[in-house]
Each structure stands twice: as structure tokens, then as C-alpha cells.
Amino acid sequence: AGWPVLAEPTATAPALAAGAELITHGTLVVNVDALALRPTGVVIAGRPTLTRWVGRLMRTVGVVHVVDKNPQWTDVAHAATSVSRWLRPADLVARQTDPAWLASWRDAEDAATRAVAKFLGEAPWPTGLRAAREIVAALPADAVLFLGSSNPVRLVDLVAVPRVDLRVYANRGVAGIDGSVSTANGLTLGLGARGYALLGDLTFLHDANGLLLGPDEQRADLTVIVLNDVGGGIFSLLEQGAPEHEAGFERVFGTPHRVDIARLCAAHGVPHRRAESVDDLTAAIGEERGGLRVVEVPVPRDGIRELHAALATAVRDAIR
């Protein structure tokens, strides 16, 4: 239809393969309140679960048509104006897109892409944002990537350049962190591919027993990459991370730990490598060893709220 398409990380490869007008860094672009980009309606394929900015878009346009296999689509926010199993011409907000409007989205995408690259290039290493971008870029073709809930899936959504040659999976919906190491193991074995999992440290620790395999069990070719900020970095980006909650934040939401991930891996007989630089990280990703292994990337949690706000501002200024 010639419409700009925003896709969560698990849907970017299918969208690209289908020839969709996928907007790179669409989550950042849609957060910019620019008159030239403002739609009068949206078509939702599946259930958006990741970003508040997309949810806000659904609440502020006049028409929201949902395409979902379940006609009893749960609509807690009462945003949908219609729901169907497939998209019919009569359901479309407009039969023909204004070419100038689509061009505005393309221009915004170009500006956002340049702004993100410049921002991350100037930001000091390490940050979760830069690590996520480098990881997705460095993965071998046809790899399987499992994204942990909380920050990893959001970091990839914000700054990674989508690739048509990756199969990306994530637990959405309830978006829990239970069994993430085991899920990545199962995906890698079931799909018979080289697998990677990008997890936060708490998600990794929550399923540390996923490292334990019986001596006669098949080993997946799985690299678990742990972004270790020693706590729950996602909460720094939410309401709980506001300055007025600073006094009780660290104990209740920051949830710091003192786990030595290298020793934890050693106890399970799993190879561990600590990536202290971009070169260390890309080398670890490209290393062909087979079996299960862990790559730990230490990233700071201090300043994460300000860093994300500065990124959003850089993109907004570039587009405007």
C-alpha cells in the first residue's frame, strides 16, 4: 500500500522479506511529534507489546484497524475501531497514500539513522545501546537470535539496524524472564542453527540452571551474551527511575547483586569470556567453538535514563 511500516524486532525480517516500507528506528521516529508525519489512522498487524510510543500513537489517531487471527482481540485501552482476520480494501484508512507524506517518513528515517549513528559513535563505550547495535550487526547470516525481556529487546528495537537474514525471537505478551536460557537452548536445537541469546544479568541469573545439561544431552551451538549492569536497568527508564524515587530505588528496583558470572559458568563447566571492548565483543561473536558458552559485557547502569533521553532528543532535533 506504500505505507510506512513500524515493526518490533521479531517482525523486522519478515517485513523486509515482504518488501514492506520498513522504517529503521521507527520507535524513535514515531516519538517525534511532527505535523508532516502525523497519520490519520493505523493498521495493527498482531499485538504491539513493546513500546509506549506505539501505544500512544494508537490512542491518538482517528482510526485503528486491527488484523489478528483472533477476532476477540483484547483491547484494554479501547483503541481499536475495527478488527478482522485479514486486511480488506474496505478496512483501509485511505486507498492511496500521498507520495509526499511517505517521502516525509523516508526523510525522517534518514535523519534518524544519521542521528543514531552519530550519537552512538560519540558516546563512550560501554553502553547497552551501543552493545546491542554492535551485536546485531556482527551476527553471522542465518543465525537465530533470542532477545530477553526488559532492556535487551528494547535496545535492539531502538538502535539496531534490521536484517532480513536473522531469525529473531522473544517472549512477549506477559514478557516474563522465566526460562530464557532454556528457551534459547530449545530454539537453537529445534531450528538446527547457530544461536545467540542477548539477556540482561537478572534474566540470565533467573535461569542459571539452564546452563546445567546432562552428560548425554545434545549441546546447542548457543552463545549467551549477558549485558551485566548489576541490576534491573529497565526500571531506570520507567516512572520508578525518576529523581524523586532515588532514596528507595536501588534496593527495591535496582536490585543489585554480587554474582561473579565467570565463576558461575565455571561451576557449570561452561566457557566464559568477558568483552571489555567492541573488538572483544565482535571477536567473541565470530568465534566458532560450538556448544554452549557465555559472553559477558559489563555495562554501567548509572546515567541510563539520561542517555536514552539524550538519544530521543538527538533524533527529534534531527528530524525537526
Q: Dihedrals φ, ψ of 214, to 5°? A: -65, 155
Dig out the grid coordinates for 151 from the structure.
Answer: 532492556
Residue 94 has pLDDT above 60, yes or no: no
Q: DSSP E strands: which ranges in 12-123?
A: 21-22, 41-45, 63-67, 82-84
d(CA 167, CA 184): 12
Neighbours of 1 (CB within 10 A): 15
Q: DSSP E strands: which ranges in the chain?
A: 4-5, 21-22, 41-45, 63-67, 82-84, 144-147, 167-170, 195-200, 222-228, 272-274, 292-298
Which residues have a Cβ under 8 Å from the Cβ of 85 and sit 6 or more positions away?
Answer: 67, 68, 69, 71
List, for residues 26-51, the tens digit of each pLDDT value.
999 998 988 788 888 888 887 787 88
Which residues have a Cβ under 8 Å from the Cβ of 249 and sit 6 or more positions away?
Answer: 235, 240, 241
pLDDT at residue 12, rounded to an integer = 95
Nearest to 228 by CA among 305, 320, 151, 159: 151
* 124 touches 28 (CB < 8 A): no
Which H helix or E strand runs over 282? Answer: helix 278-286
Neighbours of 86 (CB within 10 A): 8
pLDDT at residue 177, rounded to an integer = 84
Work out the average pLDDT over 105-128.
Answer: 95
- pLDDT band at 174, cuts 50/70/90? low
Q: How far is CA 303 from CA 9, 236, 300, 308, in A?
A: 25, 9, 8, 9
> What is the three-class DSSP state of 174?
coil
- pLDDT band at 164, cuts 50/70/90? very high
pLDDT at residue 50, rounded to an integer = 84
Q: Strands 63-67 and 41-45, how do they pair? A: parallel
Residue 224 has pLDDT above 90, yes or no: yes
Work out the average pLDDT over 144-160.
Answer: 95
62 against 24, higher pLDDT: 24
Work out the average pLDDT over 159-167.
Answer: 97
Q: Dihedrals φ, ψ of 290, to 5°? A: 75, 165
Q: Dihedrals φ, ψ of 198, to 5°? A: -110, 110
List, for residues 248-257, the tens digit of each pLDDT value.
877 888 788 9
d(CA 155, CA 147): 10
101 against 275, higher pLDDT: 275
> What is the three-class DSSP state of 274?
strand
d(CA 191, CA 248): 44
List, for residues 266-312, the tens digit of each pLDDT value.
999 999 999 999 999 999 999 887 899 999 999 998 888 899 999 99
pLDDT at residue 292, rounded to an integer = 95
List, for residues 132-146, the tens digit of each pLDDT value.
999 999 999 999 999
Dig out the grid coordinates for 58 from the structure.
Answer: 494508537
Sign of the CA dihedral 309, 311, 314, 316?
negative
